């Protein structure tokens, strides 16, 4: 069955869609407008135009799970953070629950549950992620919450860690996050689980088990 990718045009979303396509896993990339369509069409990846702040329901039809990799980005204000990372995420969770989807995979953030410990400019983002995660935990849809550390543009090592103690650092490449998302959609028995994700030494299959 098909996976709806919310935030498909982001850096993680694009890498994940390419990996899923290469692995023969059907995905539908949710994009905001037709200007974002060409990149996906060139790779024969299905798209749907929908908006976390607007019309959204139609994007879910024909899909049986969701990967939520959307984010308001570092250059937006708290208002946009609330609309995308909290309200948009909650709307997506509610639709997945209402429509009976089999699973919702949320890309959150490490230590999202401690927003007051974050730098001032990151607190609205962390608070929004924390609230969205809490909403997902109580929804009627099976879920996985992935909590990456500080994101980098390093190449994929496909070696990860699931704790700061194990990793020794708080960073993870976007490419490794995309590979872990592929592992998750290929392993549907992983439900109602939460994983911290950092660059490390273990294989993805060993770490995300």
Tell me how far apart the alpha carbons of residues 6 and 105 are, in angstroms, rounded to a whole number: 10
Pair type for strands 27-31 and 46-49: parallel
**Nearest Cα to Cα of residue 7 among 32, 38, 24:** 32
Known catalytic residue at 125? yes
**Residue from 125, 160, 167, 179 carrying the catalytic annotation:** 125
Q: Is 9 exposed, middle or buried (0-12, 13-18, 19+ CB in 10 A)?
A: buried
Based on DSSP, count helices (H) and strands (E) in the chain, helices before strands: 8, 11
Pair type for strands 159-161 and 193-199: antiparallel
> At CA 51, angle to CA 17 and CA 106, rounded to 5?
50
Q: Element (H or E) spanning 105, and its range?
A: strand 103-107
The structure tokens listed for 125 are 């983002």
What are the residue numbers of the active site? 125
């Amino acid at each position: 069955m098909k996976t709806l990718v919310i935030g498909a045009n982001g850096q993680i979303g694009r890498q994940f869609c390419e990996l899923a396509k290469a692995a023969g896993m059907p995905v539908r990339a949710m994009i905001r407008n037709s200007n974002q369509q060409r990149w996906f069409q060139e790779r024969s990846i299905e798209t749907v135009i929908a908006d976390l702040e607007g019309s959204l329901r139609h994007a879910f039809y024909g899909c049986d799970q969701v990967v939520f990799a959307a984010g308001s980005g570092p250059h937006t204000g708290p208002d946009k953070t609330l609309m995308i990372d909290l309200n948009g995420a909650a709307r997506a969770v509610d639709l997945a629950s209402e429509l009976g989807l089999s699973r919702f995979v949320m890309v959150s953030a490490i230590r999202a549950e401690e927003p007051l410990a974050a730098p001032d400019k990151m607190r609205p983002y962390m608070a929004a992620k924390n609230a969205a995660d809490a909403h997902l935990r109580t929804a009627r849809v099976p879920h996985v919450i992935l909590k990456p550390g500080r994101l980098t543009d390093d190449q994929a090592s496909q070696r990860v860690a699931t704790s700061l103690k194990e990793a020794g650092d708080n960073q993870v490449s976007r490419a490794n996050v995309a590979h872990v998302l592929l592992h998750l959609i290929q392993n549907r028995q992983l439900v109602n689980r939460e994983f911290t994700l950092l660059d490390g030494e273990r294989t993805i299959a060993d770490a995300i088990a």
